[in-house]
Amino acid sequence: MDDPHATELLCETLEARIHERTSALRRANAKLQKEIAARHRLEKEIIEISEREQQRIGRNLHDDLGQRLVGISYLSHLLANTLEAAGAPEAEQAAKISALLNDALALTRSLARGLHPVALESGGLIAALGDLAERTSGIFQIKCCFTGPPTEPGLAHSVATHLYRMAQEAVTNAANHGKASEIRIGLVTRPGRTTLAVVDNGSGMQKPGPRSKGMGLRIMNYRADVIGGTLAFSTPENGGTMVTCAIPTP
């Protein structure tokens, strides 16, 4: 016959162990949650620092280097005209130098606009995405177009900035790595949801190699998570890559 006292003692021991184990799991979970929160804060700070640094470099390119190139381009143009008027044989070379300086100035301005998208601040997300498509066509010499709603979706500036940077990353990947000849950027607004889509006709998504850090994709995923969005990658029926990010809107 079982000893009731021994059984009661065994139950108490088991309950104590369960309580101890549960407490340990709760402490471990609390510690893990703190570490996750700290990591998220660190990631957010890194993104914010990167954003500020890009804007600083963009402003410097526009305000400093860009203005210097404007002055040099103007002087070289005057020199070329003077040499041509004088019938000097160096006139042709001076004209070539002037043309190269104009190209360098245009590239500098384009880079500055990419690093510091003024259109995002002045005209909103629609203007910035349209500007991105225009610059992409000019820089990569490919067809890139943007379609969007007639009016701004009314997103917070931080949300619009994250969407713009995701579009910028997707477009750059398509042009550089996917070797696309056509890229379409789209912004669709529906009640309760705004969706950004970047579709290209390139070589499709490439699996990252063992040494690939995939930093661009990780940052895109992080940006989507920060704004409560859902980021997805897919392959359309006719090939290429489609990147979409859908976010809930009031």
| pLDDT of res. 16 | 81
The residues pairing with 241 across neighbouring beta strands, listed in sequence order, are 200
| pLDDT of res. 210 | 43
Pick the CATH number of 136-250 from 3.30.565.10, 3.40.50.2300, 3.30.450.20, 3.30.460.80: 3.30.565.10
Cα gap 102→202, rounded to integer Å: 31
| pLDDT of res. 204 | 77
- Give the pLDDT confidence of 83-108 residue by residue, as tens digits: 989 888 888 898 999 888 888 888 78
Least Cα distance to 104 among 149, 72, 151, 131 occurs for: 72
Helix or strand (DSSP H, E) at 70: helix 66-85
Average pLDDT across the chain, whole number: 84
CA-to-CA dists, residue 108 to 56, 91, 117, 156, angstroms: 14, 26, 13, 29
pTM: 0.69
H-assigned helices in 116-214:
118-122, 125-140, 157-176
**Domain extents in the chain:** 1-116, 136-250
| pLDDT of res. 37 | 76
| pLDDT of res. 211 | 43
125 φ, ψ (degrees, to nearest 5) = -65, -40
Residue where the block lists tokens 């470099």: 57
| pLDDT of res. 214 | 59
Backbone φ/ψ region at 148: left (φ over 0), alpha (ψ -120 to 50), beta? beta
Taking 70 as the pLDDT cut, the residues of the chain under it are 1-3, 118, 205-215
> How many Cα atoms are found within 13 Å in the side-chain-facing hemisphere of 42?
6
Order of strands across the sheet that contains 193-200 = 143-147, 182-190, 193-200, 241-248, 230-234
193 φ, ψ (degrees, to nearest 5) = -155, 140
| Triad 66, 69, 75: Cα angle to 5° | 145
| pLDDT of res. 116 | 75
